[in-house]
Chains A and B, each alone.
Chain A
Amino acid sequence: MKNNEATIFVFIASIIVGLLIAMNIGFEGKSNFLDVKQYDEAYNERNKLYSELNNLKEQYYNTYSKLQKYDHGDEKKYEVLDEIQKEVSYNNLILGKSDVEGQGVKITLEDGTNNFDEYPSIGQLIHDFDIVQVINDLRSAGAEAISVNGQRIIYDNYGLCAGSNIDLNGIKIVAPFYINAIGNEDVLYNYLTLEQTHIKSLKLREVNINVVKVDDMKILAYTGKFNYKYMRLTDKKD
C-alpha cells in the first residue's frame, strides 16, 4: 500500500517536473541562457549603446539649450542677436570673409636670376602650379589663412598660367610673389624648410626663395563673390 502510494506520488511529481522542464527549455531552438562569448558580446553591445545614449543626450542637451536661448528671444532679443552675430562671424572667419591676424610665415618667391646668362632657364621661372603647390604645402602644414600678393586664398581658388603673369582666381598677379600664411609659425617654418615639400624642389631649381617667421601679420578678407548655381542645401531628414 505504502509503496503504491509512493509510486503514484512520484509519478505525479515526475510529470510536474517534466512539464516544468519542457516549459523552461521551450524546445523551439531558442536558449534562454547565453554562453560566455555571447554574454560578452551582449555586454559590449550594451555598453556601446549606453555610451551612444550618453552622447546623444549631451547633444540633445546642447541643442535644447541653444533652442531655449532662441525661444526666449522676446525678452532677450539682444542676446539672440549676439548669438547669431557670433555664429555669422565665426562662419565668415572659416570662409575667409573676414580680416584675420596672427602668427605665421611669409614666403617670397621670385624668378631666379642667372648672372652668366641673359635669360633665366625655364626651371628658374615660377609657374602657376608652383604657387598652387606651395599653397597645398601650407595647407598640409596646417595653415589657417593664406594670401598670395594680398589676394586671400579661399576654398575655390585656382591658379592658371597666363603667360608672363599668373591668373589667380581671375586676378592677374606677377612675380615676385608674396605668400602669407597664418598658422603655428614654427610648425609652418619647419615643415616648409625641413620636410620634402615643393619649396625644397623650388630651391633646387635655383628660384629665389625666402621663408621668414612673422609673429604678427594681417591677412585681408576675400573680396570676391561666392558664385554657385547648381548646389543647394539638402533637406535634412531626421
Chain B
Amino acid sequence: MVAFVGLLIGVILGIVWNVNIPVKFSPYISVAIFACLDSVFGALRGSISHNFRADIFISGFFGNAALAVAMVYLGDKLGIPIYLAAVIVFGGRIFDNFAIIRRLLIDKTKSH
C-alpha cells in the first residue's frame, strides 16, 4: 500500500517537474528502475516478514541500480546485451519476492 502511494506521488512529481532524461540515457534508467523496483519488493517482503534491515536495503537499492547501469554500459561497449542478465535476474527476483509476499499476506489473513 505504502509502495503504491509512493509510486503515485513519485510519478505525479515527475510529471509536475517535467524533467526529461535524454534519450541516450534512457536504457540505463530503464534498467536502474528495474533494479530499484526489485529492492522495493525486497523491502516489502522484509517488512512483512519482520526481518527488514535499513542498511541492506539502502545498499541494495543504490548498489543494484549502479551495477545494472554499469552492466548496460559495458554491454553497450562490448556489443553484448549484458543488461538482459540484469533484467532476467531482477525480474525473477521481483516475482519470487512477490510470491513470498503473497503467501505471507494470505497466511496472515487466514490466521486472523
Contact = CB atoms under 8 A, between A and B. Distances in A.
Describe A's contact surface by its main secondary structure: helix
B20 A17 contact: no
B15 A16 contact: no
B36 A17 contact: yes
Interface in B7-39: 7-15, 19-21, 23, 26, 29-30, 32-33, 36-37, 39
A6 B61 contact: no
Interface residues of A, number: 26
- Which of B12, B14, B19 gathers the greatest number of chain A CB atoms within 10 Å? B14
A122 to B, nearest CB: 80
B2 to A, nearest CB: 5
Given A6-B52, A9-B58, A26 B6 contact: no
Nearest to A10: B43
Interface of B: 2-15, 19-21, 23, 26, 29-30, 32-33, 36-37, 39-40, 43-44, 46-47, 50, 52, 54, 57-58, 61
Interface of A: 2-3, 5-7, 9-24, 26-28, 32-33
Given A14-B4, A22-B14, 12 more contacts: A3-B47, A3-B52, A9-B57, A10-B3, A10-B6, A13-B39, A15-B10, A15-B13, A17-B33, A19-B11, A20-B29, A26-B20
